Chains A and B, each alone.
Chain A
């Protein structure tokens, strides 16, 4: 992103500034990295109570029409054809080489409407990729600039969400929404799709709203959650939360040089159907990966993206993401290492500045809901 390009602002920009957020450039957007309480406190609030995120920078691409389900199923690696109305699924956009164009969640929001949520940095690329392989008669709408997205995450998310949400189905409440379920609703008076999805390893919701109606629901949720420990959360804690939960981040663990098998995302690839990149992914699976993502516990420093991983002094891999994990109380990292060195308990090292910091391969996710510290 060139420095001369004006940064985009979400409809909640003024709210973040009023809350004292520190705003930083991210994927062409001016986004809150943290609020005054700081990344560690925000992280802990999500694990213990609830946190609210502005994710309006993310992309929303709609596929509509009688053939939309089949079209989405061809584009995305997972079983999209099997989605019922009101269900969502994680999956990958792959290219024909079988490497990863993006990771997405597909929501079947109406009978013939599928919402594909993509990473902010990839919106243009994904839209063009999808158009290239789109079946005739299926309408594609990039609604990224018209759609705000608020995530509410944490053990108290459901009770807070329910207090400001009216479902169109009168007899149900949003607390009864199944994981990866999605419904039409009114949130703080605004029309929305509410999904039980997230990126933190906690229970929670993602709320898709019209761009110009986002402020009301944001304020209503903050007010409703205030007494329950709800805090606004920036991109800093979003990263520590997702990393503890071992969720991949596009640009770190996955990109167009990585295949789903080595990335540990083979489970998202339904190889008994056709999808773009299917044959190459099937070959990669058959051959078996030469490297794999391992979780590392690192001592004596924080491993960062791009740092070298060493085995007996020899460079064998690269850190994809690393941080201090507030809920696990230690420094954690993900790294690509040779398959033979990916076994739990293997002792490696990470080059941090000019030192070798001891690193041990550990089980992932680093943090699982219910194992609170």
Chain B
């Protein structure tokens, strides 16, 4: 089964958030990258742009299809992962570490409460039958 680290919060759209001191780190889950298959292109917002919770902020493309990535929290993009733009396969190889997407200064910490706990996310992907396509 896909790994779901205990120290992260999750969105129903399969993004994860890792809390930091000044900013949070955002990526897509192991489950999401497995469903996508080989990632060949990643499109990320510019540094300094703002993203809005549950709105699309980027795109991850696999050989098969393009998938929007939704912001699990609102805030300002303080860093984008240049390495993952150059080597999109990092999303497959290391979704929770080297394959992170952006770091964001959170506008409203209360938004984090709207996200899923690891157990809730596990239940969520258990319920969500793999669509396959």
> A23-B132, A240-B63 in contact; A34/B40 too (CB < 8 A)?
no
Contact across chains for A38 and B66 when beta carbons are under 8 A apart: no
Tell yes or no: A353 within 8 A of B by CB. Answer: yes
Chain B residues near A301 (CB-CB < 8 A): 41, 43, 59, 61, 66
Chain B residues near A22 (CB-CB < 8 A): 130, 132
Tell yes or no: A116 within 8 A of B by CB. Answer: no
A18-39: CB near B (< 8 Å → 1, else 0) gives 0000111000000001100011
Contact across chains for A39 and B38 when beta carbons are under 8 A apart: yes
Contact across chains for A24 and B133 when beta carbons are under 8 A apart: yes
Chain A residues near B114 (CB-CB < 8 A): none
CB distance from A314 to the nearest CB of B (A): 24
Contact of A302 among B40, B130, B132 (CB under 8 A): B40
Tell yes or no: B109 within 8 A of A by CB. Answer: no
Secondary structure dominating the interface of A: mixed
Contact across chains for A236 and B61 when beta carbons are under 8 A apart: no
Interface residues on A, range: 10 to 19
Tell yes or no: B52 within 8 A of A by CB. Answer: no
CB distance from A244 to the nearest CB of B (A): 12
Tell yes or no: A331 within 8 A of B by CB. Answer: yes
* CB closest chain-A residue, reference B43: A301
Contact across chains for B41 and A33 when beta carbons are under 8 A apart: no
Tell yes or no: B45 within 8 A of A by CB. Answer: no
Contact across chains for A40 and B38 when beta carbons are under 8 A apart: yes
Chain B residues near A331 (CB-CB < 8 A): 40-41
With the chains together, A326 CA to B40 CA distance in Å?
9
Tell yes or no: B37 within 8 A of A by CB. Answer: yes
Chain A residues near B133 (CB-CB < 8 A): 24, 33
> A22-B132, A23-B132, A24-B132 in contact; A302/B37 too (CB < 8 A)?
no
Contact across chains for A302 and B38 when beta carbons are under 8 A apart: no
Tell yes or no: B64 within 8 A of A by CB. Answer: yes
Contact across chains for A39 and B63 when beta carbons are under 8 A apart: yes
CB distance from A201 to the nearest CB of B (A): 17
Tell yes or no: A304 within 8 A of B by CB. Answer: yes
Tell yes or no: A320 within 8 A of B by CB. Answer: no
CB distance from A176 to the nearest CB of B (A): 36
Tell yes or no: A323 within 8 A of B by CB. Answer: yes
Cβ < 8 Å to A, chain B residues 79-133: 92, 130, 132-133
Chain B residues near A236 (CB-CB < 8 A): 37, 63-64
With the chains together, A88 CA to B111 CA distance in Å?
64
A302-334: CB near B (< 8 Å → 1, else 0) gives 101000000000000000000110100001000
* CB closest chain-B residue, reference A37: B38
With the chains together, A304 CA to B40 CA distance in Å?
13
With the chains together, A33 CA to B40 CA distance in Å?
17
Which of B63, B66, B130, B133 has its CB near the most chain A CB atoms (within 10 A)?
B63
B36-49: CB near A (< 8 Å → 1, else 0) gives 01101101000000
Contact across chains for A39 and B41 when beta carbons are under 8 A apart: no
Cβ < 8 Å to A, chain B residues 52-72: 59, 61-66
With the chains together, A304 CA to B65 CA distance in Å?
8
With the chains together, A34 CA to B130 CA distance in Å?
14
Contact across chains for B63 and A323 when beta carbons are under 8 A apart: yes
CB distance from A305 to the nearest CB of B (A): 11
Chain A residues near B37 (CB-CB < 8 A): 34, 38-39, 236
* CB closest chain-B residue, reference A355: B43
> A301-B41, A301-B43, A331-B41 in contact; A324/B132 too (CB < 8 A)?
no
* CB closest chain-A residue, reference B62: A39
Q: Can you name 7 A-B residue pairings with CB atoms under 8 Å?
A: A24-B133, A33-B64, A38-B92, A301-B66, A304-B66, A323-B63, A353-B59
Which A residues fall within an 8 A CB radius of B? 22-24, 33-34, 38-40, 236, 240, 301-302, 304, 323-324, 326, 331, 353
The 10 closest A-B pairs by CB, nearest first: A324-B40, A40-B38, A39-B63, A24-B132, A302-B61, A38-B38, A22-B132, A24-B133, A39-B38, A302-B41
Contacts A38-B37, A301-B59 known; 8 new A-B pairs at CB < 8 A: A33-B133, A40-B38, A40-B63, A323-B63, A324-B38, A324-B40, A324-B61, A331-B40
